[in-house]
Structure formats: structure tokens, C-alpha cells
Chains A and B, each alone.
Chain A
């Protein structure tokens, strides 16, 4: 088994905020997805959600709000999983709820 990092990216939303019911339904999707990985004993790191606001620091004292000026999506969080191969890890990521929302998952093996 190797360790992989799954990094979730979602697009910037300009639309109206989700209703509590939608949020609840979304939470269930995420929890069922997490539960599915954990039930296979393949969740190695519960990971973290990242807060929305951020700053990007560049050389010469250039500090800007968020990474959003160039790319229209931001990293929302990450988890660690165990898998035999990059392909298996990618299959696990293929059912991630972030995909339903126009987001994507970057799958990277953690180098030893």
C-alpha cells in the first residue's frame, strides 16, 4: 500500500448561497464518500478543510488576496488515502462529491 494525497479544488461560486437543505444533502454526500473510504480501511489521514480566505506572497513584497486572480478555482481541502496504485487512488477519487459541483480532485502519491 502506498500513501496518496487527494486535493480538492472547486470553482469560485458567484451564484446564490445554498439553502440549509442543500447544505445538508451535500454534507451527506461527503460523509458517505468519507465513510466508504474509511470502511475499506483506506483512510490514512482525515485531512483538513481550508478556510476560504487566503493570501499569496510573491517576491518583492507582492502580497495579493487569494490565489484567484489567475486561476478561477481554489483548494478547498485534502485527505490522505492508502491504495495499491495511482490508478486505484484515482478510482477512489472518481466518486468524490466535489466533482458534482464542477470541481476536481488532484491525486498525488506521497514521496517517501
Chain B
């Protein structure tokens, strides 16, 4: 690694570890202090390393400095607690009141556990989904407020407010950085997976923001999902399924935008740009996910995504996809799944049947509903197709979708 890249790289990988361990140690209500200490540590690194040169083991150096800063803080605080505010009783686990031996555990095990426990804290059901994603990016992925604002296509102030409110929520609900009770782990894990799923989608589907940033968001979601596999408590079949899903989607990252940053539709993609390696990994995780007897929506979505890694269009492929969408909808309805199911129905059973089914969907205010009907009517009743594409154009706010629809209309002579 080049020296100029070293600090940004270490910041990405180590900042969140230090923050997680220290927050767990201090209590989640003091997360800002943990983040301050981690930031100070990096500031000191940038100053010291510039003058004295790189230490032999930069990561160990960072841990040692962070540890000392944390100990200083705890000592000061213990003193403060003893002499001034004996009433304040947040717990400093294992710290003697004399302040003699304070331990900050930066072992691999504790780093992993702290990060996992932090994930459970952030994905607490009392925190709104939007805030969970923001907090995850900030605390678990070390994204700065500017980057988060860019990813959400909003401004710094909005994100600052959102993060502030989310932290308040964590405080007022006394959320702790710990693993949930064994009896609760299933439910809570579901929350964590939902957040990771949304985090990935945020990166994958957000249009308009920088491609590199979007890829980073996706890779972070993959990394965090991978982290769940490192603990026996959380390495469960749906986690493998979600990871498989992410790998399959991510495999098309290079192919789905062209050099100008424009979206390339699936059928127009150059499959030589698909990442074979990620597809193989996805297959591996998909196999791993098939133990146990739960069939989560991630299993179904991962299998649908798997079929999309096969470019060849056969009736059998679409029949399989159709059945997976049928099962997915039976587990959990969503408008996107309903629309995609109808599209696969047209591929498997023919357009006439699909049109009949589409018209039952009751999604007339959704621009993609009209885009789908436009697609289905194309070649059957072009006039209706044009009308639906036009309605879709009126309803959409998405630039990328607008371009695609305009293209379809011009193919119909408009």
C-alpha cells in the first residue's frame, strides 16, 4: 500500500473497530466520546507519522494510542464520578473505583463481537429504518456526514439532524451494546438483515449519486453481512442467503452503468463485464444457505438473482423465476415483487395472460406499473402501449427510468 493511501485506508477499516470497542466499554450513551477518541487517534497518527515516519505496525500503533486515550478518559471520569458526582452511575464494567487497572480489550474477538453487538444496537426496533441506515453508515462503515448526504441525495444539515435524533433515541430507549437474549435473537436478527438489505439497495438502486460512492455503500453492506457469519450466534441460513443475493447483484455492478454513468438495462448488458468471481461466491453462499428448514424471503430473492446470472432466455428459466416470485409474494407482498412476477409470467406463460393479470394489480399510480403494461402491450396493441408509456413518463421522478421509457416510446415511433 502506498503511504498516501495508508491513513484513509486505515481510517476505513480501523476507525469503526475502535469506535465499536470503546462505545461498548463506555456505554452507547457516550458514543460521541468514543468517536472523538477514535478521531483524535487518527489526528495524532497523521501528525506523528508525518514527522517520525511510519511505525512498524500502524494498526497496533493506532490501538495502543486509542487505548491510552481511553484509559486517560476513564481515569478522569472515575475521578469526576468519585469526587464530584457520586450520583451519576453509569457503569464502567470492571473498573475499580481507585482507577488502578483499566483494561481496554482490542483483541480480534472483542473487536468482532463489539461490532456485531453495535449492529444489533443500531438495528433496534425502536429506531426508524431511515435512521438505522444513516447510523450504520456513520458508525459501522465510518462514512462522514458529507458522504452520507451524497448517498441519500440530501444536504449535510438533514443528515446531521437525522443522526442526532437517532442517537437521542438510542439514549432515551437505553439501548445497550450487547447480544440480544437467545430467545430474542431470531427477531432481532431479522431487523439487522432488513437494515443491511436496505443499505445494499440504497447503494444499488439510488440514482444520480456518484457511482464509486454507490459501490462503496454496497461493498460495506456485503462486509457487514459477512461479519454476521463470524459468530455462531448469527451465522444463520438467512444471512448466507442475503449475502448470496448481494453477491449476485454486485456481480453486475460494472455492466449496469456505461462510461457516462447511464443505466444499462439488463438485456443490453455486456455479460463479459459480469464479475464471475462474485457469481461463484454467490453460488457458494446460496449452497450454504440451504441448511435448516426456514425459507426466508432472502432465499427466494437470492435464487431469483441467481437465475439472472444466466443470460440465456429459456422458458424453463422464466418458469423457475415465476414460481419463486409466487412464493415470495405468498410470504410477503410488495409492489415491486407483484410487477416482477407479472413480467416473468409474460415470459413463461405469454403476454395475453400477463396482461390480464397485470390489470388486476391495482397499482395504477405506480409509474413502473404503466411501464410494464407498455412493455406487455408492445406488439399486441401498440396504441395502448404508447398510452401506458406516456402515463408512466408523467408519473416518474427518476431520470434513469425516464430515459428508458423515452427510448421505448421512440422504438414505437414516438
Interface residues, chain A, with chain B CB atoms under 8 Å away: 28, 31-32, 34-36, 38-41, 43, 46
The contact sample of 7 A-B pairs, CB cut-off 8 A, is: A35-B322, A35-B329, A35-B330, A38-B329, A38-B338, A39-B337, A43-B333
In-complex Cβ contact of A41 among B327, B333, B357 (8 A): B333
Could you tell me how many residues of chain B have their Cβ less than 8 Å away from some Cβ of chain A? Answer: 19
Q: How far is the CA of A43 from the CA of B319 in the complex (A)?
A: 22
Min distance, Cβ B299 to any Cβ of chain A, angstroms: 16
Min distance, Cβ A81 to any Cβ of chain B, angstroms: 12
**Residue of B with least CB distance to A31:** B326
- Asked whether any CB of chain A lies closer than 8 Å to the CB of B361, the reply is yes
Are A32 and B322 interface neighbours, CB within 8 A? yes
Name the A residues within 8 Å of B322 (CB-CB).
32, 35
- Fill in one digit per residue for B309-343: 1 if any A CB lies within 8 Å of its CB, else 0: 00000000001001101110110010001100110
Interface residues, chain B, with chain A CB atoms under 8 Å away: 319, 322-323, 325-327, 329-330, 333, 337-338, 341-342, 345, 349, 357, 360-362
Question: With contacts A34-B330, A46-B330 known, is A39 near B342, CB below 8 A?
Answer: yes
Question: With contacts A28-B323, A41-B338 known, is A36 near B357, CB below 8 A?
Answer: yes
Q: How far is the CA of A39 from the CA of B323 in the complex (A)?
A: 12
**Residue of A with least CB distance to B353:** A32
Are B330 and A38 interface neighbours, CB within 8 A? yes
Min distance, Cβ B135 to any Cβ of chain A, angstroms: 31
Are B333 and A38 interface neighbours, CB within 8 A? yes
Are B323 and A43 interface neighbours, CB within 8 A? no
Are A39 and B327 interface neighbours, CB within 8 A? no
Question: Besides the contacts A31-B327, A32-B326, A38-B329, what 7 more A-B pairs have beta carbons closer than 8 Å?
Answer: A28-B323, A32-B345, A35-B327, A36-B357, A39-B341, A39-B342, A41-B333
Name the B residues within 8 Å of A40 (CB-CB).
338, 360-362
Min distance, Cβ B103 to any Cβ of chain A, angstroms: 52
Name the B residues within 8 Å of A35 (CB-CB).
322-323, 325-327, 329-330, 341
Min distance, Cβ B362 to any Cβ of chain A, angstroms: 6
Min distance, Cβ A89 to any Cβ of chain B, angstroms: 14
Min distance, Cβ B99 to any Cβ of chain A, angstroms: 60
Min distance, Cβ A23 to any Cβ of chain B, angstroms: 14
Min distance, Cβ A58 to any Cβ of chain B, angstroms: 37
Min distance, Cβ B193 to any Cβ of chain A, angstroms: 22
Q: How far is the CA of A107 from the CA of B325 in the complex (A)?
A: 26
Min distance, Cβ A94 to any Cβ of chain B, angstroms: 13
Name the B residues within 8 Å of A28 (CB-CB).
319, 323
**Residue of A with least CB distance to B360:** A40
Name the B residues within 8 Å of A34 (CB-CB).
326, 330
**Residue of A with least CB distance to B358:** A39
Q: How far is the CA of A15 from the CA of B106 in the complex (A)?
A: 71
Are B342 and A31 interface neighbours, CB within 8 A? no
Question: With contacts A41-B333, A41-B338 known, is A36 near B360, CB below 8 A?
Answer: yes
**Residue of B with least CB distance to A92:** B360
Min distance, Cβ A3 to any Cβ of chain B, angstroms: 16
**Residue of A with least CB distance to B362:** A40
Are A43 and B326 interface neighbours, CB within 8 A? no
Min distance, Cβ A28 to any Cβ of chain B, angstroms: 7
Listed residue (B326, B342, B349) with the most chain A CB atoms within 10 angstroms of its CB: B326
Q: How far is the CA of A38 from the CA of B342 in the complex (A)?
A: 11
Q: How far is the CA of A38 from the CA of B349 in the complex (A)?
A: 18
Min distance, Cβ A13 to any Cβ of chain B, angstroms: 25
Q: How far is the CA of A34 from the CA of B325 in the complex (A)?
A: 11
Min distance, Cβ B357 to any Cβ of chain A, angstroms: 6
Min distance, Cβ B319 to any Cβ of chain A, angstroms: 8
Name the B residues within 8 Å of A46 (CB-CB).
330
Q: How far is the CA of A34 from the CA of B342 in the complex (A)?
A: 13
Q: How far is the CA of A31 from the CA of B322 in the complex (A)?
A: 9
**Residue of A with least CB distance to B334:** A41
Q: How far is the CA of A41 from the CA of B349 in the complex (A)?
A: 21
Min distance, Cβ B141 to any Cβ of chain A, angstroms: 34
